[in-house]
Structure 1
């Protein structure tokens, strides 16, 4: 390896700079998908390493130490887990350190080959249009840098400016574009990917089947879309947009979790209201099998199943953007008959926690008495207490052992996580079956495209209480907080409440609409969309063999177009030389082709001797030789070009 490195030519400053720029361009889209502090650190490492290694290679000990430190930092951030995110971060770290070896042409080729993996790794984390554009730009720069290395190796130097070199590389890429488009639109699609990708070492922010103190803060300030909804007709009021997710039954004094054995139960009895809402749900990847729906789903889309609590689950993890058509309607009654085993689960509380809450619940029950009216009175009393004495804020410390007692009697401030948990504990202690429901609430209507955006920051937790004859009834204690007692909101934390940003709203709406279109046309292009595309052109539903044949036909045409463009690009670009070669081709068809050793004058003299009527060729060849080796005025050149094109044997 050392001998090969010694035989490889050294890089000149231009080739070194081009290689480093191309490698940085490849690293950029991957850095944008990594956590901010890690991305900034790796960018700084890449810049420092490139500067220190510009004139000489760093000692081996320093290089080894640098690699060990970077690997340690990445693995520490992953907290011992290893998955897709960690692997991509390690790739970025190694690419940031790779310029430390950049000395020879062989090193440059190695760096560029390794760097091209970074844009592809980016698509494991994000498939948005920005990632695609940055990846294409990086690939073009890498190909241009490789072109410069090829010239350095063979000793040639075209003296091309960087812009001209990029133009040539872009032309080559454009020639292959028809084949790429044919492969994307017509290659037979499979319903699932051909390969599996490990889940993230650190899970994405989003709903889960548990709720613990402090876990929701990151999600509530995450402004990324979780789903986009398009209603077929009128949309329900925003206040009624409760997107139902996991239902939590079990409480251990700190954390709420879903019940595993409920999954085996059939869906509870529901009487839906008369107003139905049909809509299409486009869900961002979550790597989980949970699907939210407007309360309560009437239909179950293909590929999903309905659980006992009327939550929806999917058969496969949501690893890519998916589309679901659902119809929902508000319930008139929801499980009016509650089985004893389920009642016991909805009343269970851990022992040794929250004594003040239990005492208060006993007082309320003694004052209210027994019966359905008493249960409804206790629910209303709790909501009235929240309206008058409680406030909403995200600035809450982590609770101690008696979390509900601290919230209800000491702090009296929190957000949905605290309100729903405390309310359900208070109801259970009062003898009213209750459970926590998580999901999203509300949404933002994008006027550009007329659809609704539900963001991660719209995540919410509310309560359901069971009342005789009515069954499960939704109660949102967070919504009961008086407006004047809302101190620290999600909008304040995310900066969306500043009036100065309102001017950017149309731009943001347009940007999300464009991203939605990208999802529809590119990321959501599956086997079903492919079949509908062919139907739009009047085709029937093709089988796999027919689709493969159609792809082969279009791909063959694309290859033929590529070959024609390549052959056209190989033609002589100078119009004068092209006219001279065409003149020679005319005589070649008569058996009078010019030999390789013949000059223009000698060939013309030989032709004139064999064909006296072609004597004009001698004068024409003399004029061509004068133009070739002693160029004259433009007028003379235009006259010569005209005569060359007009001359016939």
Structure 2
């Protein structure tokens, strides 16, 4: 290690600066390794290593045709990967490739400046994928690295230490921090600037607007956070009652459940009937690239939130839907009634879609339904008896809850009820609803999140993607829609605070957990609490919070005009402060040299050409040579100025010389 450091210390400055710049570029690109195509990551890493090798070995850079060939290959790969050269993902890949290739033609300071500004742009593209606190901290180090490289490129020849450039860059960042903070607090909030996360959820837990049953052989639990909930008063309902409602799936083609389009729902409303006091809470919803908002079942329909940039509506299925996909962090308030009923009390034609089944599919499940109908005890008792009979079959029939059910065939309900008898919540809910519809009982699937856990550090209730769940609702005459969770009959531990299936921990988490069973959990809770504060105070700093800030400053009814006025005044104050700083700094310079420069400008204005290092005595001699007797007062004044600086005992102070300069008659 020491020999490597010593070797780096003996490198020429150009090679040392190049290696530092390559390391900074690698830091900028590191957060995108997981989102860029694999070939792009390997291509970029190869180019950077190649460039570093050339710098260390002091070898010449490749010719232009090499770069053109590499660029052509990269463009072809981008088009093959994204089917376009435009758009967010293809554009980011292209810029990353261009940044890597640009390092191969750094021959002048202009080329280095292009790399710096490309680096700043690529640094911003990291926020397309994530705006988390970890990404922000990484990009802060990347910013300081780019600023250090930029300062270092403008430092004089020789071998100035990088630490000196880093100090200058850090000082620049600190001087700009107050302006950055003021702009963040007061610059009017517009529509989201950043892109939305990728929408690839296949094989992972989470929500979707459809549910394709039996095509996933193994479900990977995703511990990513979907939402955070803060209950007013800090006392949420019991955990088994925490059902957060998402998409309602009604259409079934034999394999896939989908939502019913608005024009096919028929003319009926939610007809929500509630009992008890409402639960009031605040939801911080993570970006999902989906249009729905999560609410605790069931949300009061007259309490739709007002979210800047979004228009929210309530569907007849008690779901809240926005007018566009949620691509940024959203925070809203809601109130819900855990004790509720909804839907029509009498059977109408609007309920007919909820008993529809594809023809010729799942014949054994339909035969089971026909057998249950012929049972006089069940037929006489009606819907509640049929529901209880199906749940009892799940409890006592050897069914199990697993994340590895294998791939199902076309008759998913038949395979679950009679063959495999294993699945996760989507298999169980789908088979249950198919059986209910076979009994001519209106039924549908509701997806969302169930349970969650409370963070002991900040008190927020955390919903993870692994808490995603599917349950059923059946319709009963005189009651309406009633929630039935068939998974609770197969695996009671899946519901509420009991043990759940979980993904295996990583190496470090497993090592920490081995040393201390609670340390890993406490560290995770502390990190998530810190990240939540970042979400609440930075990512979710909305226009309404800006106006609230103006209220705290004394504005009674603040508006965007008031916001702009305050920002303008702050800019004026900052400008005046900069002017004052400049004047103060000028006052700190040598006043003797400043007075000499003023005399020099007077003589040059009169047409006298003066060499750059001319002393006062030389300037006096040249003035006498050019202007003769007319330059005598200036000649004497310049000699007095020289004596004031260099004589052992100056006869004149600088103040009188400054006053005499203003009265002096200069030649020309």
CA 587–236 in structure 1, closer or farther in 2 if over 3 Å, else same: same
Q: Which runs of 5+ in 1 are unaligned?
A: 1-9, 573-577, 623-643
CA 219–143 in structure 1, closer or farther in 2 if over 3 Å, else same: farther
CA 28–178 in structure 1, closer or farther in 2 if over 3 Å, else same: same
Separation of aligned partners in 1, 2:380 and 2:47: 69
Q: Secondary structure at the match of 2:270?
A: coil
What does 1:437-516 correspond to in 2, within 5 Å?
A: 437-482=446-491, 490-493=501-504, 500=514, 502-516=518-532
Counterpart in 2 of 1:597? 615
TM-superposed CA distance for 1:342, in Å, is: 2.8
Separation of aligned partners in 2, 1:14 and 1:265: 73
2:541 equivalent to 1:525: yes
Counterpart in 2 of 1:209? 209
TM-superposed CA distance for 1:173, in Å, is: 2.5
What does 1:567-586 correspond to in 2, within 5 Å?
A: 581=590
Which string of whole-angstrom CA distances, capped at 9 and with x for unpartnered residues, describes residues 605-636 of structure 1?
x899989xx999944789xxxxxxxxxxxxxx
Separation of aligned partners in 1, 2:503 and 2:142: 38
Conservation of the 8 A alpha-carbon contact between 1:307 and 1:313: yes
Which string of whole-angstrom CA distances, capped at 9 and with x for unpartnered residues, describes residues 246-274 of structure 1?
11011001100000035674532121120
TM-superposed CA distance for 1:12, in Å, is: 2.3
Separation of aligned partners in 1, 2:430 and 2:115: 54
What does 1:229-240 correspond to in 2, within 5 Å?
A: 229-233=229-233, 234-240=235-241
CA 300–469 in structure 1, closer or farther in 2 if over 3 Å, else same: same
TM-superposed CA distance for 1:164, in Å, is: 1.1
Q: TM-score, normalised by structure 1?
A: 0.81
Separation of aligned partners in 2, 1:368 and 1:491: 43
TM-superposed CA distance for 1:556, in Å, is: 1.8
CA 308–262 in structure 1, closer or farther in 2 if over 3 Å, else same: farther
Q: TM-score, normalised by structure 2?
A: 0.78
CA 251–44 in structure 1, closer or farther in 2 if over 3 Å, else same: same
| Aligned equivalent of 1:553, options 558, 569, 573 | 569
Separation of aligned partners in 1, 2:345 and 2:242: 26
2:393 equivalent to 1:382: no
Counterpart in 1 of 2:337? 329
Conservation of the 8 A alpha-carbon contact between 2:19 and 2:52: no
Counterpart in 2 of 1:147? 151
Conservation of the 8 A alpha-carbon contact between 1:249 and 1:259: yes
Separation of aligned partners in 1, 2:369 and 2:168: 78
Of the structure 1 ranges 238-247 and 11-20, higher mean CA displacement relative to structure 2 is found in: 11-20
Which string of whole-angstrom CA distances, capped at 9 and with x for unpartnered residues, describes residues 501-524 of structure 1?
631222211111111111121111
Conservation of the 8 A alpha-carbon contact between 1:462 and 1:477: yes
Counterpart in 2 of 1:432? 441
CA 582–103 in structure 1, closer or farther in 2 if over 3 Å, else same: closer
2:206 equivalent to 1:188: no
Separation of aligned partners in 1, 2:644 and 2:242: 92
CA 76–566 in structure 1, closer or farther in 2 if over 3 Å, else same: farther
Separation of aligned partners in 2, 1:245 and 1:133: 33
Counterpart in 2 of 1:165? 165
CA 395–93 in structure 1, closer or farther in 2 if over 3 Å, else same: farther
Conservation of the 8 A alpha-carbon contact between 1:85 and 1:200: no
2:236 equivalent to 1:242: no
Which string of whole-angstrom CA distances, capped at 9 and with x for unpartnered residues, describes residues 475-526 of structure 1?
111121246999x964134568995363122221111111111112111111
Conservation of the 8 A alpha-carbon contact between 1:23 and 1:112: no
Counterpart in 1 of 2:623? none
Separation of aligned partners in 1, 2:150 and 2:73: 31
| Aligned equivalent of 2:131, options 127, 131, 136 | 127
Which string of whole-angstrom CA distances, capped at 9 and with x for unpartnered residues, describes residues 203-233 of structure 1?
7974222101367789861211111100002
Counterpart in 2 of 1:625? none
Which string of whole-angstrom CA distances, capped at 9 and with x for unpartnered residues, describes residues 286-320 of structure 1?
22211111000013223421101111111332121
CA 201–220 in structure 1, closer or farther in 2 if over 3 Å, else same: closer
Separation of aligned partners in 1, 2:480 and 2:427: 24
Separation of aligned partners in 1, 2:41 and 2:81: 14
Separation of aligned partners in 2, 1:46 and 1:469: 71
Conservation of the 8 A alpha-carbon contact between 1:294 and 1:328: yes
Counterpart in 1 of 2:375? 367
Separation of aligned partners in 2, 1:340 and 1:113: 65
Separation of aligned partners in 2, 1:47 and 1:588: 49
Of the structure 1 ranges 259-268 and 537-546, higher mean CA displacement relative to structure 2 is found in: 259-268
Which string of whole-angstrom CA distances, capped at 9 and with x for unpartnered residues, describes residues 323-361 of structure 1?
111000024432242553232211110012111111111
| Aligned equivalent of 2:91, options 84, 87, 90 | 87
Conservation of the 8 A alpha-carbon contact between 2:230 and 2:460: yes
Separation of aligned partners in 1, 2:210 and 2:591: 79
TM-superposed CA distance for 1:455, in Å, is: 1.0
CA 597–363 in structure 1, closer or farther in 2 if over 3 Å, else same: same
TM-superposed CA distance for 1:177, in Å, is: 2.2
Q: Which runs of 5+ in 2 are unaligned?
A: 1-11, 603-612, 621-635, 660-668
CA 587–75 in structure 1, closer or farther in 2 if over 3 Å, else same: closer
CA 343–413 in structure 1, closer or farther in 2 if over 3 Å, else same: same
2:412 equivalent to 1:403: yes
What does 1:20-59 correspond to in 2, within 5 Å?
A: 20-31=22-33, 34=36, 41=42, 44-51=45-52, 53-54=54-55, 55-58=59-62
Separation of aligned partners in 1, 2:151 and 2:134: 26
Counterpart in 1 of 2:140? 136
Counterpart in 1 of 2:257? 256
Which string of whole-angstrom CA distances, capped at 9 and with x for unpartnered residues, describes residues 66-121 of structure 1?
44555555555558797534433443344344434445544433333322211111
CA 506–513 in structure 1, closer or farther in 2 if over 3 Å, else same: same
TM-superposed CA distance for 1:387, in Å, is: 1.6
Conservation of the 8 A alpha-carbon contact between 2:188 and 2:563: yes
CA 539–311 in structure 1, closer or farther in 2 if over 3 Å, else same: same
Conservation of the 8 A alpha-carbon contact between 2:616 and 2:638: no
Which string of whole-angstrom CA distances, capped at 9 and with x for unpartnered residues, describes residues 51-72 of structure 1?
4654343466664554455555
Conservation of the 8 A alpha-carbon contact between 2:446 and 2:472: yes
| Aligned equivalent of 1:319, options 327, 336, 350 | 327
Which string of whole-angstrom CA distances, capped at 9 and with x for unpartnered residues, describes residues 27-65 of structure 1?
223335557x56864564344443465434346666455
Q: Secondary structure at the match of 2:345?
A: coil
CA 147–212 in structure 1, closer or farther in 2 if over 3 Å, else same: same
CA 135–497 in structure 1, closer or farther in 2 if over 3 Å, else same: closer
Conservation of the 8 A alpha-carbon contact between 1:222 and 1:456: yes
Q: Secondary structure at the match of 1:164?
A: helix
Separation of aligned partners in 2, 1:328 and 1:546: 36
Conservation of the 8 A alpha-carbon contact between 1:343 and 1:433: yes
**Count of residue pairs brought into register by the alignment:** 597
CA 66–583 in structure 1, closer or farther in 2 if over 3 Å, else same: closer
Q: Secondary structure at the match of 2:503?
A: helix
2:359 equivalent to 1:348: no
| Aligned equivalent of 1:13, options 12, 15, 21 | 15
CA 609–476 in structure 1, closer or farther in 2 if over 3 Å, else same: closer
